[in-house]
Amino acid sequence: MPFLEIQELTKAYGDKVVLDRLDLSAREGEFISLLGPSGCGKTTALRLMAGFLHPDHGSIALNGEEITELPPHRRNIGMVFQSYALFPHMTVGQNIAFGLEQRRFSQGEIAKAVDGALDMVRLEGLASRHPAELSGGQQQRVALARALVFKPRLLLLDESLSALDKKLRLQMQLELRQIQKEVGITAIFVTHDHEEALTLSDRVAVMRSGKIVQLDTPENVYRAPADGYVAESLGETNLLSGVVADRTEGGFLLDLGDGTLLSVRSEDPVRVGDACTLAVRPEDVELRAGRPAEALLAGRVRSIAFAGNTTLYVVEAQGHEIRVRKPNTASSKNGIAVEDQVGLAWAPNSALVLLEHQDPTSG
């Protein structure tokens, strides 16, 4: 039996259904991210788990115990808010001790646990400071220590890293994951940042319009997205839509609508006339100067953006805008400039075939 089991969780505000019969289950110690744009229902789902909202329908069970009707203060769930929500009138130590005091621990036990928690988040010696005297990263650590110190059954994180600058965020991601593993706590992490979700999670739940579209390991949601929406949610991707023009040996020819025929390797049982979308990650596209014979598409470089460890080329190919991202190594200078003629190609297995009935852009 799963440790956390959510069934048919539904929440609407007036006519607007924010969460639509959401099912989710997590194993003990698992780290699951809810990924999606704002308004997809991920924060509502988190607030329902914390008990700040009451669902219209559905149930939440933790370790076999139904908690749907419990008020938040009796759920024993730790939460880290986006704004941290540290109590400004209390010291760091008092903030961390708060949850323990509510559970009537003795002064001695509290002092020991607070010290241990400060140790865990590497803030030794800051117990007597006030939150306003700490940096963003330190406040983040206090919030995490406060949420974990009373040994909750579940840890909820609401966009908890998004207020930090990028460098600190990457560092905190690693720390957060390490602490979560050490403690062995089950964690649900809400984020709109796909890199964060992929880096941190055991499994990623991609959400759209109050539902989970795909729930799988980071590798699988990235490499085998269920549809174009998921593919785009997990990072830059090129989507090429067209109609199956003819079947070939081990695949088919895709007509991109302007007479351009693209040879696609696929085992899907397609018929001529089927609508189909091809998803190709920018890093999977090969870029060659001139018009090499093996090119699938020919085009002209419209812009080149240097971004440190990678360079982004935007290529216009027969009316389609294709983004190509290449790593920058010391020896990777390819001499391609803006307005150059280039040929584009990709390995057959790196292009994902998304049949129209699965494609969310149509509905």
Partner 1 sequence: MAAVVLAPILVVVPMSFTNSSTLAFPPHGFSFRWYEELLTNPQWTQRIPVSLETALATSLLATGLGTMAALGVTRGTFPGRGWLTALFLAPLVVPIIDLAVGDYFVWAVGWQAGPLQFGGGLAGTVPGLVLAHTVLAFPFPFITVSTALSGVDRTLELAAAGLGANPWRTFRRVTMPLIGTGMMTGAVFAFLTSWDEVVVASFLASPRVSTVPVQIFTELRQSYDPAAAAISTVLLAAAVVLVGLLTLIPMLARRADRGPALDGGVMAADVTSGGAGIAVTAG
184 Cβ contact list (under 8 Å, min separation 6): 28, 29
Q: Is 130 in the site for partner 1 (CB under 8 A)?
A: yes
Q: Is 151 in the site for partner 1 (CB under 8 A)?
A: no
CB distance 223 to 264 below 8 Å = no
Q: 86 or 230: whose CB is closer to partner 1? A: 86
Sign of the torsion formed by the C-alpha atoms of 159, 160, 166 and 172: negative
Sign of the torsion formed by the C-alpha atoms of 188, 194, 199 and 205: positive
How many chain residues touch partner 1 (CB under 8 A)? 32
In order of 35, 201, 224, 278, 287, the CA distances from 217 in angstroms are 13, 8, 10, 22, 30
Q: 138 or 310: whose CB is closer to partner 1? A: 138
Select from 1, 16, 38, 88 the one that contacts partner 1 (CB under 8 A): 88
Tokens of 277: 């979308």
Stretch that binds partner 1, among 107-115, 125-133, 309-317, 327-335 (CB under 8 A): 125-133
H or E element that contains 240: strand 238-248
CB distance 213 to 207 below 8 Å = yes
- For the CB of residue 157, give the shortest distance to partner 1 in the complex, in Å: 12
Q: Is 166 in the site for partner 1 (CB under 8 A)?
A: no
- 25-54 residues in contact with partner 1 (CB under 8 A) are 50-52
Q: 145 or 200: whose CB is closer to partner 1? A: 145
Select from 21, 69, 83, 257 the one that contacts partner 1 (CB under 8 A): 83
Stretch that binds partner 1, among 16-24, 75-83, 215-223, 301-309 (CB under 8 A): 75-83
Q: 88 or 259: whose CB is closer to partner 1? A: 88
| 265/45 Cα distance (integer angstroms) | 39
Backbone angles phi, psi at 162, to 5 degrees: -70, -15
Select from 13, 66, 87, 316 the one that contacts partner 1 (CB under 8 A): 87
- For the CB of residue 308, give the shortest distance to partner 1 in the complex, in Å: 36
Backbone angles phi, psi at 84, to 5 degrees: 70, -40
**Residues within the interface to partner 1 (CB under 8 A):** 50-52, 71-79, 81, 83, 85-89, 91, 98-99, 102-103, 128-130, 132-133, 146-147, 150
